[in-house]
Amino acid sequence: MPRTLADWLDHIERQHPREIEMGLERVRAVAGRMRLGRPARKVITVAGTNGKGSTVAFLEAIARAAGWRLGAYTSPHLLAYNERVRIDGRDADDAALVEAFAAVEAARSGAPALPLTYFEFGTLAALWLFARAPLDLAVLEVGLGGRLDATNLVDADVAVVTTVDLDHQDWLGDDREAIGREKVGIARAWKPLVLGEDDPPSSVLGHAYAIGASAIRAGSDFFFEPVDAAHWRWREIGYEIELPNPRLSAPAQLRNAATAIAALRALRRPLPKAALAQGVASAHAPGRLQAFVRDGVEIVVDVGHNPQAARELAAWLRSALVAGRTFAVYAALADKDVAGVVAALAGGVDAWHLAGLPQAGARGLDAEALAARLAGTAADDAARHAGVAQALAVARAEARAGDRILAFGSFRTAAAALVALQGGH
């Protein structure tokens, strides 16, 4: 049996021939062998194309400010696997994860042995740890889709769908209606379903109606608007509160914070106004417009990886102008709409640097392949680099005080940029 966390991660990566294998049969069978109970007194499950991680960060920060004992399961991680499992705001340590993986392996390898994907293995380990905490609230972030995702093993007391847009079409469908049907699969009959979009796909609303889930919609059932430069207001019928602006700075973060508040209020538990204010102001999600300043140059790292996320990045660039030029360091996975991403950001970027993602294996595009897919776009004549660290180093050498560098394109891009920046390179 593996002994260290690194050995376990290598082991679980080899347990299934495919990285993604959607369906709940195998993971449900292993959960049954483990006799997994409810991971917490209450569960909120969060799905969506973008905004999941930030919404989880708001849920976690507000609930903890209210004094709730909380576990959060998110993916993917940036720098260490431990980030995926948090209890009371602390990442799970290596020893806890090793014990949890051993429990999953003991159940999985029984007769007959059942192969689990990396994500399925990790989800069961997180649920095992949460069930032993014990917790007032568990917040589960869907990995892919919703209906067939391993997190959907658990019946959510409140389901959240942040946004629905085009991504992972090979798995979820070719349009918003098809993708929405997959994501809303986390909803449960007669339970609240919080929708972060003003105009969600009809498939989402139709499914909610069909199962009797009570849809709570942004722009219809809860509202949010800026008050002044430092404050905003959240309101629903019979209740409103003025709050400090989120520490997370993209324009979309106001919507994510508002969605998180709606989800927590849907639990019908006391939620002091002071906890709402403290949580909104303190919530932090690494790799979401995470900013550094080096030699007078602002360097911003973001995990945005699809056209919808790129449009939000473009809106932020317009709202937070710099005196100088904006350089983009962009690296992407092979299944992404890279031309759509560049088109969304074209007006806000002065120079592009394309980088490969060798650490992503077959999923990553090298710089030449990325450039070929961007022929005829605003990044047509971009400089090309073997990896993110090299691209970032060249962009920094070209930049002057007052300029900005945006490093983005995937979690792996953000991780490589953070390693380079935090390592002093």
Cβ atoms 124, 30 nearer than 8 A: yes
DSSP for 156-183?
A: PSEEEE----S--HHHH-SSHHHHHHHH
Tell whether the torsion through CA atoms of 129, 133, 134 and 136 is positive or negative: negative
Copy the structure tokens of residue 39. Answer: 């991971």
pLDDT, tens digit (0-9, with 9 covering 90-100), for 300-350 = 999 999 999 999 999 999 989 999 999 999 999 998 999 999 999 999 999
For 231, phi and psi rounded to 5 degrees? -140, 160
CA-based end-to-end distance of the chain: 37
pLDDT value at residue 168: 67
Whether the pLDDT of residue 68 is over 70: the answer is: yes
Question: CA 257 to CA 235: how far, in whole Å?
Answer: 12
Instruction: Provide mean pLDDT across the span 69-90.
Output: 96
Whether the pLDDT of residue 369 is over 80: the answer is: yes
Which of 83, 91, 97 has the alpha carbon at shortest distance from 5? 97
Question: CA 382 to CA 330: how far, in whole Å?
Answer: 10
The Cα-based distances of 14 to 119, 121, 410 in angstroms read 12, 11, 23
Question: CA 205 to CA 362: how far, in whole Å?
Answer: 37
Query: CB under 8 Å to 422, separation ≥6 — which residues?
Result: none
Half-sphere exposure of 222 (CA within 13 A, CB side): 29
Greater model confidence, 193 or 17: 193
Residue 124 exposed, middle or buried by CB count within 10 Å (0-12, 13-18, 19+): buried
Copy the structure tokens of residue 339. Answer: 């031309």
CB atoms within 10 A of CB 81: 18
Whether the pLDDT of residue 377 is over 50: the answer is: yes
Query: CB under 8 Å to 102, separation ≥6 — which residues?
Result: 1
Tell whether the torsion through CA atoms of 343, 346, 348 and 352 is positive or negative: positive
Cβ atoms 54, 123 nearer than 8 A: no
Query: CB under 8 Å to 53, separation ≥6 — which residues?
Result: 74, 141, 285, 288, 303
Whether the pLDDT of residue 38 is over 60: the answer is: yes
pLDDT value at residue 425: 42
User: Secondary structure of the chain: what % helix, strand, coil (to 5)?
Assistant: 40, 20, 40
Whether the pLDDT of residue 253 is over 60: the answer is: yes
% of the chain exceeding 70 in pLDDT: 99
Whether the pLDDT of residue 235 is over 90: the answer is: yes
Strands 231-236 and 223-228: antiparallel
DSSP single-letter state for residue 424: T
Question: CA 128 to CA 31: how far, in whole Å?
Answer: 9
Whether the pLDDT of residue 85 is over 60: the answer is: yes
The Cα-based distances of 227 to 244, 245, 306 in angstroms read 10, 10, 30
pLDDT value at residue 111: 83
- pLDDT band per the 50, 70, 90 thresholds, residue 376: very high
CB atoms within 10 A of CB 284: 14
pLDDT value at residue 171: 65
Write down the pTM of the prediction.
0.94
Q: Which amino acid is present at 339?
A: A
Instruction: Provide mean pLDDT across the span 73-94.
Output: 96
